[in-house]
Amino acid sequence: KTFRLLSRRLLQFELNCRPSNMRYFSKTATSTHLDFDYDGPSMKTTVPGPHSQNVGAINFFCNYEKSRGNYLVDVDDNRMLDLYTQISSIPIGYNHPALLKLMSNPNNMSTFVNRPALGILPPHNFPDKITQSLLSVAPSGMTRVQTMACGSCSNENAYKAMFIWYRNKERGKNTPSNEDISTCMINQAPGCPDLSILSFMGAFHGRTMGCLATTHSKSIHKLDVPSFDWPIAPFPRLQYPLEEFTRENGQEEARCLEEVEDLIVKWRQRGKPVAGIVIEPIQAEGGDNHASPDFFRSLRNIARKHGCAFHVDEVQTGGGSTGKFWAHEHWGMDDPADIVSFSKKLLTGGYYHKDELQADKPYRIFNTWMGDPSKNLFLLEVLNVIRRENLLEQVTHSGKALLDGLQELQVQYPGILSCARGQGTFCAIDVCDDETRNSILLKTRDKGVLLGGCGDRSIRFRPALIFKEYHVHLFLNIFNDVLAQFK
């Protein structure tokens, strides 16, 4: 610990001794461009430009035909290095040659032209395609996958699966009674049981009604919408750097785990048993809040102890951006969850689940499309690219360079930045206040870099898996230029 503190002070001294007019904060890495990437940002107007003005909530209109690799081009021909990637949902960059080739293959034409009702009329090759794609990256202990269209409907139906499982467990071998069947039609118990799902402050699980009851990141998501009376536990608020606050962070996680158990007991006593616990491996929208592997392992054990299903929401963290395909792999568990939901970087949506959470009758988990075979076709090719190009290893390498750079910047700008944190390229840093954070985001965008905000005052980094160390240093130098304006 003494050595780490000394190293940090030496770094502070070194940064303070740099000339104030020094242009390059970060060394330039070898310029190993992708064959479909640009060589850097190119800004012709402020953003939004003249063709994107007065568009309400829209940031700006895009030219996706010109966008390539790590770069998003807008309608005014501004080319921006994209470290936000459509809210963390672009896996291998814009217009990847492998995906364009897939589109040009005439054998795939019917998959793109026809969108079937998968629950009743799937294509003949759909089981094989699912086996080759989604099931080839199934989380540990998961034997089944249910496809859906987006993150919210993935979580919404995962919640239904947990409730169905819980009630069937309560009934044993008994089938639903006539009273169950009649009362459910008028939204009354016992057919509509008074069960609950435990979630965490700072969580974001979606905007549909059930998901919204478990979302607690921003008031604008929830205002004026009726909700369920379900328990909400505190999520650990860790102090950084982690190595200097081991004892304090351990106490904070223990406090939160104790509160989880208390809430489960209280809600059972209130006649609203907790059927499931839902949690993100990293609370993304809520501020990139992390917890230790020990915290998640203990939470998993609490779920088992109280007979609750354990649902890990990997909608934003899944797909490789933490350096492992699933963020929960960092916990080192053979049996990490009962349900794992996904979307975004996996291009389609859905949830993996254990055999016992399979719905007991047809149409209980159902909608018209239940996903899209064409998106699964793209996913299969994305997985091929990830494996062929060792992108998870690259994410780990680029992520270290990014986090190291952010930690250096927070030493150089201690009044502005703090709490650099992350796994892989799934990184974030806090800004002194919300107003400064938003100003930094806009100024950085005008210099050709797209970033995202999260939580009360954090900046989050969500580049594609093809983001290289070269792009890291390119970003850090531009970011340093922006931060120098606030010093």
Respond yes or no: is residue 313 known to be catalytic.
yes
Retrieve residue 34's tokens: 């992708």
Burial state string for 184-193 with b = 16 or more CB within 10 A and e = fewer than 16: eeeeeeebeb
Helix, strand, or coil here: 429? strand
Which of these is catalytic: 360, 368, 433, 434? 368
DSSP notation for 85-149: HHHHT-SS-BT-HHHHHHHH-GGGHHHHH----TTTS--TTHHHHHHHTGGGGPPTT--EEEEES
Helix, strand, or coil here: 357? helix
Cβ neighbours for 475, distance < 8 A, ≥ 6 positions apart: 81, 83, 402, 449
Which of these is catalytic: 163, 200, 204, 378? 204
Which of these is catalytic: 25, 82, 85, 344? 344
Respond yes or no: is residue 111 known to be catalytic.
no
Q: Check if the beta carbon of residue 34 is closer than 8 Å to that of residue 471.
A: no
Respond yes or no: is residue 215 known to be catalytic.
no
Q: Check if the beta carbon of residue 202 is closer than 8 Å to that of residue 283.
A: yes
Cα distance between residue 13 and residue 15, in whole Å: 5
**Can you tell me which residue has the tokens 């531009």?**
478
Cα distance between residue 31 and residue 16, in whole Å: 28
Q: Check if the beta carbon of residue 142 is closer than 8 Å to that of residue 130.
A: no
Which of these is catalytic: 74, 76, 82, 313? 313
Cβ neighbours for 194, distance < 8 A, ≥ 6 positions apart: 271, 272
Cβ neighbours for 54, distance < 8 A, ≥ 6 positions apart: none
Respond yes or no: is residue 305 known to be catalytic.
no
Cα distance between residue 49 and residue 47, in whole Å: 5
According to DSSP, the β-strands at 339-342 and 309-313 are parallel
CA angle 120, 122, 128 (to 5 degrees): 135
Residues carrying an active site annotation? 204, 313, 344, 368
